[in-house]
Amino acid sequence: MKIFLLNIITLSTIIAQGGLKIIGGYDMSTIKYNDNNINSQNDISTLNSTNIGLEYHFSRFNIGANLIQRGAKLKRDAIIATAAGDLQAELSGHEIYNYVSAHILYPIKIKERIQVFGGILLGKSRGGESIAKLTLTEYNSSQSDTIKMESSEFGLDAGLQFGLDYMLNHRFGLRTSYYIGMTNVRDTLSNDFNFKNRTINLSAFVNLKGLWKKKSTKKQTQNITSKSKLLLPTNAFEVQAAGRIGSDTSPQSKIAVKYGLNEFISIGLSNSNYLNTIDLSARTNYLNKLLKNFKFPVNLVYNSIISIQGDKPVIIDKLDQLNFLHQLIIDYKIKSNIRFVLIPTYLHKNSVKTKLEPKGYPWDIWFFQTGINWALKNNIELYSDVIQKVTDDDNSQNSKPLLKIGFKYFINSMSLDLSITNLYYLHGTALIDNLGVSDYSENFRMGLQINKIFD
């Protein structure tokens, strides 16, 4: 994972003046068994994940490499025979297959902004994960098990990929494609019990050609301004799609919608795949009225989030599924193109039975975040954030700093955000859930976020 990220940075610098693209997006994967009877006996649904990679236009072909995840969700009814009689049960679970892939595509331009393509894709396995769950429907009880799969258990994933590219402008584009696996996924299964991958992909890409090209000195120097979009304009809608992927963790995804009620208040609603979490959010910059007469270059925003984790096990009652966040965002403009951010954050993990072992579990936690945003151009911004838990408790776990660095590209009312982070979850109160993520081998994960504002 680290080597792949370093290769992305190196190649981006070396051949940015050529036809290099950074591509990232959203995958909906499933599998198809060679035996149609198995397909009909199981309820097979799509597994959502994210991907990140590079693509280079060479001669008449597009050649690229990606980090991708494939897999599927499966479910079927079962009967368990016991001495007391038969019990109705449900077998469910999902499998994740991690790949490093390479592809060669042949594009055909059919309109000024539209091109179709087709080609081959080869994937080398990096292992995977199988999660199985047995639920006794009559007793509403369940048991799950997780198995790590080694790369040696997988064969070469080879297949055909075809799709369509739509260019928003010379720099920014969207892609949709379909992958049909032609080879068996597993090396450890017979042909009758084996299966092949299928994936629908929705991606965005940035063409790096000329991105760092120096402008003529004869042109007047532009005033570069860092974009602070903590609140939406009045009556404006924002749609957000985000994903995060790591080599040893399940992919994370989130869809959000936000709305500007007025010049002081914005509200939002989102859903993420971790525990089927729904976030209700509201933020206001009304505190700026207190500083209006002082003319400080500071933007104060209060942010509040309630998370409802629908799939979280209930200990006492449904209130156990709630988390709460309160933030004060202090956004200080150092220069016209540089902003410094301080964010004290309070989080409460709602569990009625708070005296469970271990004693003193931190249900109420304070964090402190610092960050800097640097606008290289009016449509290009770099940022970095450091988040530290400041609550001192006896059950301190995973107290190392949480880091995130990224790149934002703005095009009219759209933005693309590519990031590297050691954070895992994406929901609004994720900081308190990230404290338990300490048993994964990779240090960093890749993130992709696409935003679109409708005025």
For residue 424, the model assigns a pLDDT of 84
268-293, pLDDT tens digit by residue?
Answer: 999 998 888 999 999 998 888 777 76
82-139, pLDDT tens digit by residue?
Answer: 776 777 888 888 898 999 999 999 999 998 889 999 999 999 998 888 888 888 766 6
Q: Which residue has the higher pLDDT, 315 or 104?
A: 104
- 244 & 104 share domain: no
Its pTM stands at 0.56
168-180, pLDDT tens digit by residue?
Answer: 888 888 899 999 9
- 82 & 145 share domain: yes
For residue 250, the model assigns a pLDDT of 75
On whether residue 220 sits in a domain, the answer given is no
> 320-324, 338-342, 406-410: which range is least confident on average?
320-324
Q: What's the rounded Cα separation, in Å, for the pair 107 and 411?
A: 24
Q: What's the rounded Cα separation, in Å, for the pair 53 and 67?
A: 6
> 82-86, 342-346, 414-418: which range is least confident on average?
82-86
For residue 312, the model assigns a pLDDT of 76
In sequence order, the 6+-apart residues with CB closer than 8 A to the CB of 81 are 87
- 413 & 357 share domain: yes
On whether residue 214 sits in a domain, the answer given is no
- 141 & 256 share domain: no
- 248 & 288 share domain: yes
On whether residue 229 sits in a domain, the answer given is no
- 245 & 181 share domain: no
Asked if pLDDT for residue 10 goes beyond 50, the answer is: no
Confidence at 296, pLDDT banded by 50, 70, 90: confident
On whether residue 227 sits in a domain, the answer given is no
Confidence at 210, pLDDT banded by 50, 70, 90: low
**Length, in residues, of the chain:** 455
On whether residue 443 sits in a domain, the answer given is yes
Asked if pLDDT for residue 425 goes beyond 80, the answer is: yes
Which residue from 49, 35, 7 is spatially nearest to 448, judged by alpha carbons? 49
- 182 & 45 share domain: yes
Per-residue H/E/C for the chain = CHHHHHHHHHHHHHCCCCCEEEEEEEEEEEEEECCHHHHHHCEEECEEEEEEEEEEEECCEEEEEEEEEEEEEEEEEEEEEECCEEEEEEEEEEEEEEEEEEEEEEEEECCCCEEEEEEEEEEEEEEEEEEEEEEECCCCEEEEEEEEECHHHECCEEEEEEEEEEECCCCEEEEEEEEEECCCCECCCCHHHCEEEEEEEEEEEEECCCCCCCCCCCCCCCCCCCCCCCCCCCCCEEEEEEEEEECCEEEEEEEEEEEECCCCEEEEEEEECHHHEEEEEEEECCCHHHHHHHCCCEEEEEEEEEEEECCCCCCCCHHHHEEEEEEEEEEEEEECCEEEEEEEEEEEECCCCCCCCCCCCCCEEEEEEEEEEEEEECCEEEEEEEEEECCCCCCCCCCCCEEEEEEEEEECCEEEEEEEECCCCCCCCHHHHHCCCCCCCCCCEEEEEEEEEEC
- 40 & 171 share domain: yes
Asked if pLDDT for residue 198 goes beyond 90, the answer is: yes
Confidence at 390, pLDDT banded by 50, 70, 90: confident
> 9-23, 148-162, 228-242, 243-257: which range is least confident on average?
9-23
Mean pLDDT of 158-177: 90
Instruction: Tell me which amino acid residue 162 is.
Output: F
Q: Quote the number of domains for the chain.
A: 2
On whether residue 222 sits in a domain, the answer given is no
Q: Which residue has the higher pLDDT, 191 or 178?
A: 178
Q: What's the rounded Cα separation, in Å, for the pair 132 and 29?
A: 18
Which residue from 427, 436, 452 is spatially nearest to 389, judged by alpha carbons? 436
Mean pLDDT of 328-345: 89
Q: What is the CATH number of the domain that holds 184?
A: 2.40.160.20
Q: What's the rounded Cα separation, in Å, for the pair 442 and 314?
A: 31
Mean pLDDT of 353-370: 64
In this structure, the strands spanning 114-136 and 298-309 are unpaired
Q: What is the CATH number of the domain that holds 402?
A: 2.40.160.40
On whether residue 221 sits in a domain, the answer given is no
Q: Which residue has the higher pLDDT, 335 or 220?
A: 335
For residue 153, the model assigns a pLDDT of 92
- 398 & 291 share domain: yes
On whether residue 218 sits in a domain, the answer given is no
Tell me which residue range forms the domain holding 82. 10-207
For residue 6, the model assigns a pLDDT of 45
Q: What is the average pLDDT score of the chain? A: 81
Q: What's the rounded Cα separation, in Å, for the pair 160 and 104?
A: 10
Confidence at 258, pLDDT banded by 50, 70, 90: very high
Asked if pLDDT for residue 216 goes beyond 60, the answer is: no
Confidence at 311, pLDDT banded by 50, 70, 90: confident
- 110 & 182 share domain: yes
